[in-house]
Amino acid sequence: MNTNLFFKSTDDLEGLGLGFSLWGPGHLIWLGCIFLAVWLISSAYKKAGYKRRRLMAGIFAFFLPVSEIIKDCYTVSIGRLT
């Protein structure tokens, strides 16, 4: 997977003609996929018992700060922490 452009700012992308328009088809597809993922996870959480809910909440609570730390370390390493 090519991630060279993943953490680029909009200033970097404007000159390259990359990205998609706000509320264009690509944007709406991404929003729909995000909505579907949230709906599926929420449905699984709602149907789960007490122990499973605690597990799901613990996993989410663990990965949320971990993903932010990884993002911050990466953006610092490429000089893009703004």
The pTM of the full predicted model, rounded to 2 decimals, is 0.63
Asked if 48 contacts 57 with a C-beta cutoff of 8 angstroms, the reply is: no
pLDDT at 61: 96
> Distance between alpha carbon 50 and the CA centroid of its chain, in Å?
27
| pLDDT for residue 41 is more than 70 | yes
Which is more confident, 20 or 29? 29
Both tokens of 69, joined, read 């730390």
Asked if 7 contacts 75 with a C-beta cutoff of 8 angstroms, the reply is: yes
Count other C-beta atoms under 10 Å from residue 15's C-beta: 7
What is the phi-psi region of residue 48: left when phi exceeds 0, alpha when psi lies from -120 to 50, beta otherwise? beta
Share above pLDDT 70 across residues of the chain, in percent, rounded to a whole number: 83
pLDDT in tens, 54-67: 999 999 999 999 99
